[in-house]
Chain A
Amino acid sequence: MNCFNEEIFQKYVDGECSETEIDQIEAHIEKCVECKTNVELLRERSENIKKQINALVGDVPEMPGISTLIKEKKPVIPIRKKLAYGMAAASLFLLIVLFFGKSQQSQPEETILFYNIDYEIDANKPLTEQEMVLYITDENGFGLNNDSN
């Protein structure tokens, strides 16, 4: 019977064998008692040595954190995206200018009105029968005539 060497068994114990190798080893150790014992001993040896070496460490002291050691690369914005952002910003600026320009134009203009009072006092008549004319005109001379008694 062709037995495997210790190196292959060590790999098998450590879970480093390929699927084909695992199948071959498992088929072999089913038949060969000596190799089966060897595999069990190797597994035991590996576990014991790992356990014993790890027992050397004890409590691990807390290490302080480290920051800003690794330089972060700034994300590169593609030129098409840059162009799209630029266009959007320009359109927004144009809209704002148009809106404010229009709103300023729609404000009512100031009109100056002139008035003139024409009256004649008749001393023989009572106050309620006295005559008075009020002329209201704009700066161009157009306006309303308001007659009042």
Chain B
Amino acid sequence: MYRVAVKMIGDKDAVRDIVQEVFVCLYEKGKGTDEINNYSAWLYKATYFKSIDYLKANKRFSKLETIEDRTCQEESYEQKEVKKMIQNALNKLDPKNRFLVVLYSEGLSYKEMAEITEINFASVGKTLSRALKKMEKELKTEYYELF
């Protein structure tokens, strides 16, 4: 969940809050009568929706440099720029495709991805292939601009 949320929004402080909110939501759901059949899929989905909510809420605000960014001296300038480049390329994808690519990077099967994203199983391959192609194109453009 943490990994997925970091890949979706990039801000680690916000991700901690999101993970906490998802667990609170799960706890509230556990009290009610609604039954969750697939906990793993539910947690992934809840993380996705919370991440989308966060992105929508913070759309108007540009991200300020966090303390973590300033204090982390271990990473070189180049490494930081590459990470920023990957995050930008991911952000260029629409949220659903971004989520699909993030789940793909987590090593999930097409069946699991179809269940979580509610994309038809037969079209997972096609959607993923297009998303990866678009991301590759974005990465190439960003890399060209950067170096």
Contacts and interface: CB of A to CB of B under 8 A. Distances in A.
Interface string A34-76: 0000000000011001101111111011010010011100000
Contact of A56 (B7, B26, B104): B7
B97 interface: no
Contact of A45 (B90, B110, B126, B132): B132
Contact of A7 (B82, B86, B104, B129): B129
A11 B125 contact: yes
Interface residues of B, number: 33
Nearest to B72: A58
Nearest to A59: B12
A70 B86 contact: no
B83 A56 contact: yes
Chain A interface bracket (under 10, 10 to 19, 20 to 34, 35 or more): 20 to 34
Q: Is the interface of B mostly helix, strand, loop or mixed?
A: helix
A147 interface: no
A10 B109 contact: no
A45 B27 contact: no
Contacts, number: 67
A49 to B, nearest CB: 6
Contact of B87 (A46, A49, A56): A56
Contact of A69 (B6, B27, B90, B132): B27
Given A10-B125, A56-B10, A49 B30 contact: no
Interface in B73-105: 82-83, 86-87, 90, 101-102, 104-105
Interface string B97-141: 000011011010110000000000000011011001101100100
A26 interface: no
Most buried by B among A8, A14, A71: A14
A55 B2 contact: no
A69 B139 CA distance: 42
A131 interface: no
Interface of B: 2-3, 6-7, 10, 12, 16, 19, 23, 26-27, 30, 82-83, 86-87, 90, 101-102, 104-105, 107, 109-110, 125-126, 128-129, 132-133, 135-136, 139
Given A53-B105, A54-B105, A55-B86, 5 more contacts: A10-B132, A56-B10, A56-B83, A57-B6, A57-B7
List of 3 A-B pairs having minimum Cβ-Cβ separation, nearest first: A53-B105, A10-B129, A11-B125
